[in-house]
């Protein structure tokens, strides 16, 4: 049967199609997300729903010369900073390191040497760093880690305060959910949830909950609701603009990974 449309999902390829992989050309994409509390106005699936929506945005922008294989979304991540609220699912860092490293090993056995982990949940960042290093050391892979948030947002779309403090369940994530899954958002319960990072900035010279000199926090340390940012100011239009901007950035990164010759950049 002929292919009616372009395939990008790992599971849609047949086993013989993984033979004779060009390790310079094919890029595996591992999406990592979370199922965790996002306050009174957003579902616990927020990070996973955003991941699914962002992947769809990026797929629509893929140029014909990019050959990517997207693995199933890893929906449960490291979310122990949110376990005081019901509905949060979490796995320990050691379990995730083992699982994601073995996943990468399976990808390497298919002959793929380029892999990118893309993330929609801040709690996964440290785990991704360990896993990508292991894949470089043990499987000679160009192992890249990124997150949608790292691609930024259109300048001026959100207030400076939102850009600075709204890291969880605030205006940005609520806007993305209004764009991707509006039926799951209860704007009647969306508020401006202030972050205690602002209090730390007034109290200390260097010490913060986030940033360069951060102490480990759980969600309630930032705000009693476990979310921060002005969710009440969210709109679907802001979400649409953010998604487009970040998806374009991800495609540019994929182009760079495709362009990079393994022999030139890996010793």
Q: Report whether pLDDT(1) > 80.
A: no
Q: Say if 253 falls within a structural domain.
A: yes
Question: Would you place residue 51 in the very low, low, confident or very high pLDDT band (cuts 50, 70, 90)?
Answer: very high
How far, in Å, CA of 129 to CA of 147, rounded? Answer: 12
Q: Say if 141 falls within a structural domain.
A: yes
Q: Which among 257, 262, 243, 35 is positioned nearest to 146, based on CA atoms? A: 257
Mean pLDDT of the chain: 97
Total domains present in the chain:
1
Question: Would you place residue 47 in the very low, low, confident or very high pLDDT band (cuts 50, 70, 90)?
Answer: very high
Task: Tell me what percent of the chain is helix, strand and coil, each rounded to the nearest 5.
Answer: 50, 15, 40
Q: Which among 148, 181, 158 is positioned nearest to 44, based on CA atoms? A: 181
pLDDT of the residue at 38: 98
Q: Which among 78, 55, 48 is positioned nearest to 184, based on CA atoms? A: 48
Using one digit for the tens of pLDDT, what is the confidence trace for 237-261?
999 999 999 999 999 999 999 999 9
Which CATH number characterizes residue 23's domain?
3.40.50.10310
pLDDT of the residue at 89: 99
Q: Say if 3 falls within a structural domain.
A: no
The predicted model gives 59-88 an average pLDDT of 98
pLDDT of the residue at 265: 98
The residues, any chain, with a CB within 8 Å of residue 212's CB and separated by 6 or more, are 206
pLDDT of the residue at 251: 99
pLDDT of the residue at 2: 40
Coil, strand or helix at 151 = helix
The residues, any chain, with a CB within 8 Å of residue 3's CB and separated by 6 or more, are none
Handedness of CA 263, 265, 266, 267 (dihedral sign): positive
Q: Say if 26 falls within a structural domain.
A: yes
Using one digit for the tens of pLDDT, what is the confidence trace for 210-219?
999 999 999 9
Using one digit for the tens of pLDDT, what is the confidence trace for 118-173?
999 999 999 999 999 999 999 999 999 999 999 999 999 999 999 999 999 999 99
Coil, strand or helix at 189 = helix
Q: Report whether pLDDT(3) > 60.
A: no
Q: Say if 266 falls within a structural domain.
A: no
| Residue 185 · residue 41 · CB < 8 Å | yes
Q: Say if 224 falls within a structural domain.
A: yes
% of residues, the chain, pLDDT over 90: 97
pLDDT of the residue at 85: 95
pLDDT of the residue at 5: 80
| Residue 97 · residue 130 · CB < 8 Å | yes
Question: Would you place residue 189 in the very low, low, confident or very high pLDDT band (cuts 50, 70, 90)?
Answer: very high
How far, in Å, CA of 247 to CA of 243, rounded? Answer: 6
| Residue 41 · residue 168 · CB < 8 Å | no
Q: Say if 207 falls within a structural domain.
A: yes
pLDDT of the residue at 178: 99
Q: Strand pairing partners for 193?
A: 229
| Residue 239 · residue 179 · CB < 8 Å | yes
Helix (H) or strand (E) holding 146: strand 142-147
Q: Strand pairing partners for 115?
A: 28, 143
Burial of 181 (0-12, 13-18, 19+ CB in 10 A): middle
Q: Say if 73 falls within a structural domain.
A: yes
pLDDT of the residue at 224: 95
Domain housing 115: 10-261
Q: Which among 34, 20, 212 is positioned nearest to 110, based on CA atoms? A: 20
């Amino acid at each position: 049967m002929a292919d009616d449309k372009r395939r990008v999902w790992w599971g849609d390829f047949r086993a013989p199609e993984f033979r004779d992989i060009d390790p310079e050309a094919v890029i595996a994409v591992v999406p990592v997300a979370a199922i965790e509390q996002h306050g009174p106005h957003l579902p616990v699936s927020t990070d996973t729903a955003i991941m699914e929506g962002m992947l769809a945005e990026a797929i629509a922008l893929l140029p014909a010369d990019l050959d990517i294989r997207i693995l199933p979304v890893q929906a449960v991540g490291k979310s122990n900073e949110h376990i005081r609220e019901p509905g949060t699912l979490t796995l320990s860092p050691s379990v995730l390191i083992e699982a994601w490293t073995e996943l990468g090993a399976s990808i390497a056995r298919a002959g793929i040497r380029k892999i990118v982990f893309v993330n929609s949940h801040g709690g996964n960042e440290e785990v991704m760093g360990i896993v990508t290093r292991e894949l470089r050391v043990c499987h000679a892979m160009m192992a890249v880690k990124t997150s949608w948030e790292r691609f930024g947002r259109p300048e001026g779309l959100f207030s400076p305060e939102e850009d600075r403090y709204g890291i969880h369940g605030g205006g940005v994530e609520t806007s993305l959910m209004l764009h991707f899954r509006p039926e799951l958002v209860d704007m009647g319960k969306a508020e401006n949830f202030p972050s205690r990072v602002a209090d730390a900035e007034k109290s200390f010279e260097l010490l913060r909950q986030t940033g360069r000199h951060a102490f480990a926090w759980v969600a309630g340390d930032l705000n009693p609701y476990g979310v921060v940012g002005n969710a009440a100011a969210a709109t679907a239009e802001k979400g649409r603009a953010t998604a487009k901007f970040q998806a374009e950035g991800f495609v540019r990164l994929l182009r760079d990974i495709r362009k990079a010759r393994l022999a030139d950049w890996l010793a």
